């Protein structure tokens, strides 16, 4: 990709990382426009269309100007735009910790190996669990330090499905696994109780940014 080719950007902002094993850290976020998968609990539907065209150097300079210890590329679904691979490479050349959060629908084998991949796995309540890209799992098992799997759960059914998923695909005890509750839908105490009762080797998370700011606030 040449420096003149443009990527559609929904927003670039500085905030506290609200999810993943990096939760709590200041982070520069680069949100790419475009998705269209229609997850039932999507909280960034505004990123599914529009977007401002920017070059890779412009994006990198704006994100790094915040001086954050990590940078995350997210969406929408960031892997829909071919330019994301050059963007991730450019960020890795300038920043020590680069994260990619992807909806888990598309293969990640072309992502720069220096990137930490946060891969969502869609549970039944999302309405799109049949679209999980299972071909990413063998790559994660070969390079577990590069991956973490995030399950956002809205019900007991989601929890039981996710529990079966991590064991049947041999992720439990191998990769970082994070179970979180859909904000305002599943009571966090219930999820914590289930995890403790089953002795699951998973990390529980809350969507931290939604407790700090109004959950409908953009750019945080």
The DSSP code sequence of 141-180 is: HHSGGGEEEEEEE-SHHHHHHHHHHHHHTT-TTTSEEEEE
CB 42 within 8 A of CB 75: no
If one counts the domains in the chain, the total is 1
Residue 118: which of 85, 148, 87, 73 has the closest Cα?
Answer: 148
Interval 102-147: pLDDT, tens: 999 999 999 999 999 999 999 999 999 999 999 999 999 999 999 9
Sheet holding 70-74, edge to edge: 52-55, 6-16, 26-32, 70-74, 98-102, 116-121, 147-153, 176-181, 203-205
Query: Would you say residue 219 lies in a domain?
Result: no
| Whether residue 2 has pLDDT greater than 60 | no
Which of 69-73, 207-211, 213-217 has the highest mean predicted lDDT (pLDDT)?
69-73
Give residue 215's pLDDT: 83
What angle is formed at CA 187 by the lines to CA 200 and CA 216, rounded to 5 degrees? 115
pLDDT band per the 50, 70, 90 thresholds, residue 3:
low
Interval 9-51: pLDDT, tens: 999 999 999 999 999 999 999 999 999 788 988 888 888 888 9
Lowest mean pLDDT among 80-84, 102-106, 216-220: 216-220
- HSE-up (13 A, CA, CB side) for residue 128: 20
Query: Would you say residue 143 lies in a domain?
Result: yes
Q: Terminus-to-terminus CA distance in the chain, angstroms?
A: 30
Give residue 45's pLDDT: 86
Single pTM value for the model: 0.94
Instruction: Provide the Cα torsion 190, 194, 199, 201; round to 10°.
Output: -70
Full domain range(s) for residue 175: 6-212
Interval 49-72: pLDDT, tens: 889 999 999 999 999 999 999 999
Query: Would you say residue 74 lies in a domain?
Result: yes
Pairing of β 26-32 and β 70-74: parallel
Query: Would you say residue 38 lies in a domain?
Result: yes
Q: What average pLDDT is seen over the chain? A: 94
Query: Would you say residue 13 lies in a domain?
Result: yes
Query: Would you say residue 148 lies in a domain?
Result: yes
Query: Would you say residue 217 lies in a domain?
Result: no
Query: Would you say residue 220 lies in a domain?
Result: no
CATH code, domain carrying 132: 3.20.20.70
């Amino acid at each position: 990709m040449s420096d003149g080719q443009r990527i559609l950007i929904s927003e670039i902002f500085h905030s506290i990382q609200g999810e993943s094993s990096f939760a709590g850290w200041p982070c520069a976020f680069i949100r790419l426009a475009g998705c269209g998968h229609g997850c039932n609990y999507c909280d960034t539907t505004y990123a599914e269309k529009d977007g401002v065209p920017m070059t890779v150097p412009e994006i990198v300079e704006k994100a790094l100007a915040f001086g954050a210890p990590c940078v995350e590329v997210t969406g929408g679904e960031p892997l829909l735009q071919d330019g994301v691979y050059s963007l991730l490479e450019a960020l890795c050349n300038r920043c020590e910790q680069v994260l990619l959060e992807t909806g888990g629908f598309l293969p990640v084998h072309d992502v720069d190996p220096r990137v930490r991949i946060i891969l969502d796995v869609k549970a039944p309540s999302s309405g799109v669990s049949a679209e999980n890209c299972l071909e990413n799992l063998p790559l994660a098992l070969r390079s577990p330090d590069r991956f973490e799997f995030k399950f956002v759960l809205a019900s007991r059914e989601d929890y039981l499905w996710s529990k079966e998923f991590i064991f049947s695909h041999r992720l439990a005890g191998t990769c970082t696994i994070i179970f979180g509750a859909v904000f305002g839908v599943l009571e966090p105490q219930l999820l914590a109780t289930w995890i403790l009762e089953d002795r699951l080797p998973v990390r529980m998370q809350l969507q931290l940014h939604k407790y700090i700011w109004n959950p409908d606030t953009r750019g945080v």
